[in-house]
Amino acid sequence: MSKELPPDHRPYAALLISKVYFYIGELSEAVEFALKAAGAFEKEPQGEFRETIIGVSRFSLFTQTSG
């Protein structure tokens, strides 16, 4: 992510990038940028995007710890 963005705008840029990856079907990248979005993602309303990101991240965590 660009260092030219003010620090308070970076979470929203990460959220936007996450949504782009989500809609093109690149879920691992979508999760990666959703994690970088932190508080901006927390403000995201319930819906397909939020539920999928949470589900994929939990599944990834589960498979890493049980493997």
Read out DSSP for 1-64?
--TTS-TTTHHHHHHHHHHHHHHTT-HHHHHHHHHHHTHHHHTSPSSHHHHHHHHHHHHHHHHH
Q: What is the pLDDT of residues 37-51, one digit of tens each?
A: 999 999 999 999 999
Burial (CB count within 10 angstroms: exposed 0-12, middle 13-18, buried 19+), residue 14: buried
pTM equals 0.84
Query: What does the mean pLDDT of the chain come to?
Result: 91
